[in-house]
Structure 1
């Protein structure tokens, strides 16, 4: 990739690699702004969203960012990347995040109709909804400073997978095994969504975490035993990829999780302006797998994740198998996941009865 502003995309993939036609995207965003139907103009009731979400200042700021991004895209299309100023560079990044690599709100285990770059999600909607039902927020009681920690997902009959650094917040290693910390409890709630306008919150049937099956010694992974909090039982587990896809780099994928505000990990003002302070709720985050070295234990992807995505599944959009366990990333650098098919014979995952497919 050439040197210059294009090399600093927050999703580690330049706009020219995400969008087929930069001029077409610029024209579309400009038309939406002129018609006042940009995403920033959609209001939510005051009792369902932070004040920043519905303030006129926030909408105007969003419009200014996107207008600068349109100018930046037009310069990129004309191969004038060296002329981009700071506002245009950030505006291009905002358009990448909002259109090329969006973080789509989930409401009542569904998501708004998608057009343009991500219209490909529409025929996959039924399968994605099934995935959404099996991913939840890890919540804790008795922790000295946190009430929720990350994301987890069903991978076995009574098993959820998350990150080691998530489980470590409510677990301890004692007598040669991991166990839940004294005085603390934890659960996985598949809801925790931003309420839809005019409607009640979606139903919530959390899973109680009853035991630590194990913490992986080599990768950032924990496997936890769960039980339903009601008599309804647990959904069937997600299908976990037992083999690698035929071609990984450039493969469409999606992440489901709970992006959280984290100014230590992400560029604070940029993230606040793009996400408009709507954090900690369930989102669908499409993107592509970008890199994997055969035999390695790290795959990279460019979905727009934030701190609370720790423990999120990375799904193959083609067959909806879980390819990876997201464990980290950094703004303007990229995102990382454990390639699960590399652990198909791992004794800990065998003990957890992972649903390999």
Structure 2
């Protein structure tokens, strides 16, 4: 955890060198910035946490989506920058919010929802494998919903509301079936759900997918539904309560930056919690989805599936009903652009 916090501070100072003297003073001197023992871990944790705000998604008097920039904990210089950047990009980001939804569940003991999802194709929601596996399982015929507490299949819906304060409720569409769940042995944590055919489905157009590469320190925001974490997951409960205003299970916008990239993985440093599984990770400048959030560790970078995986798997799964064979994955951007306009043929691994 210390090394990840040190890496965060190094990236912070690379972007904002004017903060070097302040950070050095808080870590116990300039030498701490150069050595492997970068000061007290609590000082590092404070520097990390104060730089990443979390905002409520909301509505105006007419029910149009907005980002509440006032009700948030803004403590660090970079947090202020991210707030200003998000304010500049509101016209780009807010139109995406009504296509982000909770995966709500009835008939199962525990939480009222299992994660976040978003519209990636006509009538198709993308989420995480580990989210889908809570409510569905593989069978010889494809996939089936798990049985609930009463011995009946659980009832699922994709709900775009659940705001801190709602002028009008969001759309709630039943989930009809599971299209595809990535096998457990794969590192790609992704699944696709098919919505019931309703008139409201046609109002939810797919989110735009980022096809071009993105650079390190590109401003991002995570759109999803963070859920309250236990002390075992987040030891500093006071910090969590401050950053998230002690309000959970509602739609949030969490800005941050790209941290690093690997062939099928992008890490970011936005503030997220467990309910964010399946969230859209959006490039603030363009409003394009760069990836699918799937994991995070306290005060460490969080992870997302690379954008190419999302678009290629989705286009192949959407249109093949309940078949469980995995669509082909192509990483070359020219191939992704072509495949975004047509369905993928099934391919073996």
TM category (shorter chain) comes to 0.7 to 0.9
Q: Over residues 262-298 of structure 1, what are the superposed CA-to-partner deviations in whole Å (9 max), with x where a residue is unaligned?
A: 22433343423543422221110111112112xx222
Q: Over residues 75-124 of structure 1, what are the superposed CA-to-partner deviations in whole Å (9 max), with x where a residue is unaligned?
A: 3596264795565444323322xxxx211111223113489402122232
Decide which of 160, 169, 178 is 1:212's aligned counterpart: 178
Aligned to 1:191: 161
Aligned-partner Cα distance in 2 for 1:233–1:345 = 22
How far is 1:341 from its partner?
A: 1.2
Conserved in 2, the CA contact under 8 Å of 1:240 and 1:356? no
Q: Over residues 28-74 of structure 1, what are the superposed CA-to-partner deviations in whole Å (9 max), with x where a residue is unaligned?
A: xxxxxxxxxxxxxxxxxxxxxxxxxxxxxxxxxxxxxxxxxxxx675
Aligned-partner Cα distance in 2 for 1:83–1:222 = 40
How far is 1:312 from its partner?
A: 0.4
Listed as ranges, the gaps of 5+ residues in structure 2 are 60-64, 71-78, 148-152, 320-335, 342-349
How far is 1:13 from its partner?
A: 6.4
TM-score normalised to the size of structure 1? 0.72
Conserved in 2, the CA contact under 8 Å of 1:19 and 1:117? no
**SS of equivalent to 2:89:** helix
Aligned-partner Cα distance in 1 for 2:311–2:4 = 36
**Matched ranges for 1:60-139 at <5 A:** 74-75=25-26, 79=30, 81=32, 85=40, 88-96=43-51, 101-108=52-59, 109-113=65-69, 116-118=80-82, 119-139=84-104
Conserved in 1, the CA contact under 8 Å of 2:221 and 2:253? yes
Aligned length: 295
Aligned to 2:325: none
Aligned-partner Cα distance in 2 for 1:221–1:94 = 28
Q: Over residues 187-213 of structure 1, what are the superposed CA-to-partner deviations in whole Å (9 max), with x where a residue is unaligned?
A: 121111112xxxx54432112111111
Listed as ranges, the gaps of 5+ residues in structure 1 are 27-71
Aligned-partner Cα distance in 1 for 2:273–2:47 = 19
Q: Structure 1 residues 259-268 or 112-121, which shifts more?
A: 112-121
Conserved in 2, the CA contact under 8 Å of 1:172 and 1:178? yes
Aligned-partner Cα distance in 1 for 2:110–2:5 = 34
2:231 matched to 1:267? no
TM-score normalised to the size of structure 2? 0.73
Closer, same or farther in 2 for the Cα pair 1:330/1:12, shift >3 Å?
A: farther
Aligned-partner Cα distance in 1 for 2:176–2:10 = 40
2:203 matched to 1:238? no
**SS of equivalent to 1:179:** strand
Aligned-partner Cα distance in 2 for 1:212–1:261 = 27
Q: Structure 1 residues 136-145 or 78-87, which shifts more?
A: 78-87
Q: Structure 1 residues 75-84 or 320-329, which shifts more?
A: 75-84
How far is 1:7 from its partner?
A: 5.2
Aligned to 1:169: 134
Aligned-partner Cα distance in 2 for 1:12–1:163 = 30
Aligned-partner Cα distance in 2 for 1:356–1:228 = 23
How far is 1:228 from its partner?
A: 6.7
Aligned-partner Cα distance in 1 for 2:157–2:100 = 12
Aligned to 2:299: 332
Aligned-partner Cα distance in 2 for 1:207–1:12 = 43
How far is 1:238 from its partner?
A: 0.6
Closer, same or farther in 2 for the Cα pair 1:10/1:134, shift >3 Å?
A: farther
